[in-house]
Structure 1
């Protein structure tokens, strides 16, 4: 089989969390083996396992996160080693969207606080109905219809939230300076565009955030931001807890400047906050979401190991050529001048013709795939890997 390694062994996959079986089924037994005790697998599939203190072998070619966030993976270290890191953007988007909208409505109607209060009536017997009627006035809420929802980050989740909020008769303002073309096509034209984040802060009754944690976004919800917002604004955070300055949030909640803070990332600070709604990280916790993420992560790993194609990598450029069964050379290298020329020159020294080629760069690194037109017996062209590997700037090379 063309997708087996040159030494005849199977590709070995290690999992670091319980990965849905439907995802593992992607790896056919003829060409893959799942070995969670392997010390040096070809690829690793995980969910939230912390890899920062984990040593991995030199044979590891890919790490796939069955989810969107990759904070649990030392991405920069793996980039320097030539290990491709995948995630699964959009696979859990519907699950997160549903919980955002559920929390938006439930918190606006004080459902969470009302349920907690009602449970405390246990033991009151026949008096409970009367107590409920007398006490419900303290939980009077507000309807979301006609209110303005600000959506920060219009990626897979944010776009779904924005579109569905429109269907709930909300006005929606979106802010995302890095919106992709694909997302723009999927976003309703009725979503108003905020030119600045301050404009969104000032005009929103509810704000939901869907951006990654970076140096620029860390603590973006702070005293300065709260000062711009409407009195009693509700803030929903299903992205990362660190996006919020918790000290400033506690003050804003106490004063009523922020009416509610709904977060999927509770900690000791959050649990002490007045009018905080702590949700135990349930955003992607659905059977469907876990299965979608597992299947997507596994397919990306399988495709990369078998063909060298890269899709949905967080540290390497996406690159793809339809696989026709020809010998393929993949090279991960520094993004410096004349790299492609040196690689093709090495192929020429072996009298190998190029049938197809793609070169994509991302930051300081680039990825080159070359299909060879010649009929070559076996998986390995003797000496080719060594010759290309001698080129200064080459990090990894595979012959498929």
Structure 2
């Protein structure tokens, strides 16, 4: 029986993916796997039995990836599962930034009980006149699952779209419209965009990407949308730019004390993936990733280990997480060969200095052989899977 610890409330559709061989409990002790949404796991005691963590969402900054990798714990996310929900909110943000709907609604809400509201509306509405987005240029920074959807949708709204992503995957490239103009220089995108939408993970290399220097390259009156991560934008730099008029408006899904209440900031309470459909999609994807790994050793959508997926047609499979060093394959196969087990299939992939090897066997390896492999200095974890 595999024990799954739920660190947050998980949609029932996700839990329904698990069968009678799984026990799902809120914050279970000594679990085989964890499903988490927003709970902070940096101080979590990653026990020796823990094999996998699935984040029901895209960002994994609430998980200690380094500690997990050292212990051979696979960390998954669910890229694309919430992409449509975030895309729709970005489009709403575009319209809020272009037409002054926000302040118009604010004013109407102050007029409760007014007997002259119908007349006053005609005078007041001039203050909230905005611009149409058709014909304007949107710069999309990051063209992954969400960014590519935003770019494609903006084209259908008659916008010109510029895209920047030096790490654009083949998969994302196939999904991206050929009418998106790909920029290789980020400052070029900044200089030619009326709106800029951010769709990047928060890494050391992207933290504070929108800073004073970056803003200096932008058009006067640019409008910036951030539905990715709060740390991508330097608060002090954006506030200075808003006060000077260099940036006309900042729409963000990540408010903080510095930004809240500023007249030129539209801040939403982290609603990006907060739709019923998105939460269900993420929960289902996370549960499927956990099952694929615990049952057959397949790694799909890992953020810290190589993705390795192979149909399991043999009765036994050994999965080994180890350092990416020479002769590891031969060492592992030499040890298993002593059991007279035939290796019917094998796959090995690496990610940086970490590698993952799966070996399909026609007969069961002995516990002694598994222990010998487990005690190799280069091995973080070994698992045995039975069909």
TM-score range, shorter chain: over 0.9
Contact 1:152–1:176, Cα closer than 8 Å, also in 2: yes
Distance 1:35 1:354 in 2: 37
Match of 1:293 in 2: 282
Mind listing any 5+ residue stretches in structure 1 that lack a counterpart? 1-9
* Residue pair 1:389, 1:397 contacting (<8 A) in 2 also: yes
**Structure 1: distance between partners of 2:92 and 2:266:** 12
Task: Give the corresponding residue for 1:13.
Answer: 4
Q: For 2:219 and 2:373, how far apart are their aligned partners in 1?
A: 60
The separation in 1 between residues aligned to 2:106 and 2:126, in whole angstroms, is 15
SS in structure 2 opposite 1:85?
Answer: strand
The one of 364, 375, 380 equivalent to 1:395 is: 380
RMSD over aligned Cα, in angstroms? 1.0
List 4+ stretches of structure 1 deviating above 2 A: 35-38
Matched, 1:211 2:200: yes
Match of 1:106 in 2: 96
Residue in 1 aligned with 2:138?
149
**Shift in Å, 1:121:** 1.2
Q: Distance in 1 between matches of 2:185 and 2:46?
A: 43
Find 1:27's aligned residue among 18, 25, 36: 18
1:71 alignment partner, one of 56, 61, 69: 61
Would the aligned equivalents of 2:35 and 2:53 in 1 still touch at CA under 8 Å? yes
Comparing 286-295 with 270-279, greater Cα deviation is found at 270-279
Secondary structure of the 2:357 match is: strand
Q: Deviations over 1:265-318 (max 9, x none)?
A: 001111143300001110000000000000000000011000000000000000
1:90 aligns to 2:75 (yes or no): no
Structure 1-normalised TM-score? 0.95
Query: Are residues 1:260 and 2:260 paired?
Result: no
Deviations 1:175-204 (A, max 9, x none): 000000011011000000112000000000
Preserved CA contact (<8 Å) 1:63 1:86? yes
Alignment correspondent of 1:42: 32
1:121 corresponds to which residue? Answer: 111
Count matched residues: 385
TM-score, with normalisation over the residues of structure 2? 0.98
1:7 aligns to what?
A: none
Distance 2:119 2:96 in 1: 23
The reply on whether 1:240 has 2:225 as its aligned counterpart is: no
1:163 counterpart residue number: 152
Paired residues of 1:157 and 1:210 also in contact (CA < 8 A): yes
In the TM superposition, residue 325 of structure 1 has moved relative to its aligned partner by 4.5
Moved more, 51-60 or 136-145: 51-60
Q: CA deviation at 1:54?
A: 1.7
Match of 1:270 in 2: 259
SS in 1 for 2:42: coil
Aligned counterparts of 1:49 and 1:363: Cα–Cα separation in 2: 28
How far residue 33 of structure 1 moved from its aligned partner, in angstroms, is 1.0
Three-state SS of the structure 2 residue aligned to 1:281 is coil
SS at match of 1:45: strand
Distance 2:322 2:14 in 1: 31
Question: Within 2, Cα distance between the matches of 1:241 and 1:272?
Answer: 16
In structure 2, how many angstroms separate the alpha carbons of the residues matched to 1:254 and 1:37? Answer: 46
- Is the Cα contact below 8 Å between 2:339 and 2:366 reproduced in 1? no
Contact kept in structure 2, 1:151 and 1:174, CA below 8 Å: yes
Structure 2: gaps (5+ residues) = none
